[in-house]
Amino acid sequence: MRRRDFIKSIAGLAAAWPLAARAQQPAIPVIGYLSASSPESSARLLAVFRESLAEAGYVEGRNLAIDVRFLQETH
């Protein structure tokens, strides 16, 4: 019986491990930016936006995510 109990406990820990790992990661805020203009014409605006966020203590990739989308696709 002890062997079965041991195997059950190991299986339970293995199943719970991914859930515990995900629970430890804090959710970071995501800012969505949608523009009707081209990426080239929005480059300076986005740079100033990121600089302003950095001055407020938000750094993209560290404590903030920015999802940038454009209506015009560039090929």
29-38, pLDDT tens digit by residue? 999 999 888 8
For residues 55-75, give the mean pLDDT.
86
7 vs 70, residue with greater confidence: 70
75 belongs to a structural domain: no
41 belongs to a structural domain: yes
Question: By residue range, what is the domain housing residue 50?
Answer: 2-70
pTM: 0.58
46 vs 75, residue with greater confidence: 46
53 belongs to a structural domain: yes
45 belongs to a structural domain: yes
Amino acid at 26: P
For the chain, the domain total comes to: 1
